[in-house]
Amino acid sequence: MTKYVICGGKPLHGEVEISGAKNAAVAILPAALLVDGVCRIENVPNISDVTLILGIMKDLGANVRMINRTTVELDCSTVYKQNVPYELARQIRASYYLIGALLGRFGRAEVPPPGGCDLGVRPIDQHLKGFSAMGAEIQVENGFIYAVAPHGRLRGAQVYLDVVSVGATMNIMLAAALAEGLTIIENAAKEPHIVDLANFLNSMGADIMGAGTDVIKIRGVKSLRGGTYSIIPDQIEAGTYMTAVAAAGGEVRINNIIPKHLDCITAKLVEMGVEIEEDGDSLIVRRTGKLTRTNVKTMPYPGFPTDMQPQIAAVLCLAEGTSILTEGIWDNRYRYADEFRRMGANIQVDGKIAVIEGVRQLTGAPVCACDLRAGAAMIVAGLAAHGITEVDQVYYIERGYENIVEKLAKLGADIHIKAIPDEDWRTSAG
Ligand code: EPU
């Protein structure tokens, strides 16, 4: 086990390369199950969620070959089973994509309900509603979801999502790609990774229209062929570095991004006094003066992303005045507030609303990453804080950020990884 140790208060300078998008990769890799032939997928982030998904794919019988650090070749013609073991699936939220992909390809799937970060209740009723509308019989028994298409192949259907769900939109797209006839998803989510999954499937021969709008039409095809595809850059990783510069100060060029995907984050940081310039597929982020307060509400794309809520909270903790932060997606995404308070932040939470009164200085403290993005926010706060911050439970952060310590150290941050002796870890985990 390891911790991250940060000696804060140093402005960041230099350039950082953004990796491929986690939430696209964890859907596109299972999507290879639908394909006849070899898929070569590039710009795959080197993070533990990807390692877990690839581990599940191997367990199902897929031939998985790393070509280099960010390129993987998947040949799913060797897949011989459709049941995902509990101990693998429970470690990752995105294991739910295995249901759509296995059901779409083989007409059956046995997958335990997904794990992932604790952000409050995380139902998948909309995914299952979509599969049922397409003719699947679903049973939840003995800790597994059993989904079967009685005639082997799903049939297209009209599905109206009661809530805008990223996971349900992508899962229904996976199930529908090889179904018989037309599937229409209404009230679909519009996140960049939804467009990326549609582009991947279309490049392999699928017929999907409307991804990126709230109505997606998928005309099922008989088969998909292999090919090469490159995953989009990670919007949230880029946004996290933007908030790191906002909090710590300095000037950083953030490379390999799609600036449009970051508009919602850019707009808020500019309101707070951060200077941001677009230059092709890079953003230059500069903060020299004071930060000013603002209000932020998280919403489905193109609104401000919930996965940036803890990181922007770290910046608001340092802004002059009182800011109101409203969480519009998850019931319980403020578990990190206690950790911020240990660093001297003034943050009060009531349900989905946090009131943050900016302070002049945060102070380093031992803190805990209580989930992936909360962990990233502890790093952002630690970079700005006076003194030493030690972030515990960093395995959450490593689920979604490739080489974060190395990338920040290259920007001049004083950050390193510290091994925790086994015994200390057992004591703190108890
Ligand atoms: N919801 C339902 N029923 C469903 C599905 C969702 O009620 O069947 C509700 C949820 O409870 C939530 C809202 O709808 O209130 C949105 O949930 P969504 O399905 O969009 O979330 P998700 O697919 O489980 C993905 C990301 C999350 C990100 C959300 C929202 C992956 C693997 N996870 O989760 O990412 O917060 O979309 O954008 O793509 C992260 O990366 O840190 C992370 C948590």
Q: What is the pTM of this model?
A: 0.96
pLDDT attached to residue 429: 36
Per-run averaged pLDDT (10 residues), the chain, 430 residues: 96 98 98 97 97 96 97 97 90 91 97 71 89 96 91 96 97 98 98 98 98 98 97 98 98 98 98 98 97 98 98 98 97 95 98 97 97 97 98 96 98 96 52
Q: Is 352 in the pocket of ligand 1 (CB under 6 A)?
A: no
Q: Is 329 in the pocket of ligand 1 (CB under 6 A)?
A: yes
How many angstroms does the Cα of residue 155 sit away from the middle of ligand 1?
25
What are the tokens at 221?
């095809």
pLDDT attached to residue 113: 82
User: What is the C-alpha separation between 122 and 171, in angstroms, rounded?
Assistant: 15
Report the C-alpha dihedral over residues 334, 121, 100, 140, rounded to 10 degrees: 160
Q: Is 172 in the pocket of ligand 1 (CB under 6 A)?
A: no
Neighbour count for residue 137 (Cβ, 10 Å):
12
Which of 117, 264, 317, 368 does the annotation list as catalytic? Answer: 117
Task: Give, using CA atoms, the residue closest to atom 40 of ligand 1.
Answer: 307
What does the H/E/C string look like for 372-396?
HHHHHHHHHHHHHCECEEEEECCHH
Residue 117 annotated among the catalytic residues of the structure: yes
Q: Is 309 in the pocket of ligand 1 (CB under 6 A)?
A: no
How many angstroms does the Cα of residue 350 sit away from the middle of ligand 1?
21
Strand 366-368 vs strand 388-392: parallel, antiparallel, or unpaired? parallel
Specify the ligand 1 atom closest to the Cα of 167.
Answer: 23
Specify the ligand 1 atom closest to the Cα of 119.
Answer: 44
pLDDT attached to residue 89: 86
Candidate from 93, 173, 187, 237 with most ligand 1 atoms within 8 A of CB, to mutate? 93
Q: Is 117 in the pocket of ligand 1 (CB under 6 A)?
A: yes
pLDDT attached to residue 115: 65
Task: Give, using CA atoms, the residue closest to atom 24 of ligand 1.
Answer: 167
pLDDT attached to residue 19: 98
Neighbour count for residue 343 (Cβ, 10 Å):
25
pLDDT attached to residue 427: 43
How many angstroms does the Cα of residue 388 sit away from the middle of ligand 1?
34
Q: Is 26 in the pocket of ligand 1 (CB under 6 A)?
A: yes
pLDDT attached to residue 424: 60
How many angstroms does the Cα of residue 273 sit away from the middle of ligand 1?
31
